[in-house]
Amino acid sequence: MKVFDLGCAQGHVFEGWFASEDDYAQQRQRALLTCPMCGDGQVEKKLSAPRLNLRSAAHEPHAAPGSAPEPAQAPDATEQQMHAAYLHVMREWMAKTEDVGQRFASEARAMHLGDVPERAIRGQASAQEAQELAEEGIQVLRIGIPDSIKQTLQ
């Protein structure tokens, strides 16, 4: 398994996992690679440090006296991890909910009243509709979803 640091033309950096260097090249040639943050198809392999596991299970987790400390993660690594986690959660949520579009308020109200079976839904509602639903005791969570998340990614 090869793990490459990839980047799009918009400056987003992310990891790609491939069976081999050839697998990466074939996917790139067939335009199968897209940025998970913005959907950009201009994906390039970035320079990355090799990942070496020099410790064995027999060694203690503490560094030997006089050895160099492990390098800290780049400042943007945490941000990238947060982006990846956000994308993962949003895609899972979208896969498990039904998009009812502009009918969100009426569908939520119908479920609340027992007119239709309850199910996980998502859609659009105005601020006024969301407030009215809340006043009726119907819980609504407002979430902004980037368009790139709405597309299927490999």
Domain count, the chain: 2
Asked if residue 5 belongs to a domain, the reply is yes
Tell me, yes or no, whether 83 and 138 share the same domain.
Answer: no
Residue pair 5/45 in contact by the 8 Å Cβ criterion? yes
CA 71 vs CA 10, 50, 52: distances in Å: 27, 13, 13
Same domain, 91 and 115: no
Find the range with the poorest average confidence among 55-59, 123-127, 129-133: 55-59
Q: What digits encode the pLDDT tens for the residues 21-43?
A: 888 888 888 888 888 888 888 89
Report the SS3 class of residue 6: strand
Q: What is d(CA 103, CA 44) in angstroms, rounded to the nearest whole number?
A: 41
For 93-128, how does the pLDDT look when each residue is reduced to its tens digit (9 = 90+)? 888 899 999 999 999 999 999 999 999 998 888 889
Q: Are residues 30 and 87 in the same domain?
A: yes
In-domain check, residue 60: no
Domain assignment present for residue 55? The answer is no
In a domain, 11, yes or no: yes
Domain interval for residue 142:
98-148
DSSP-derived secondary structure letter, 69: P
Identify whether residues 43 and 18 lie together within a single domain: yes
pTM above 0.75, yes or no: no
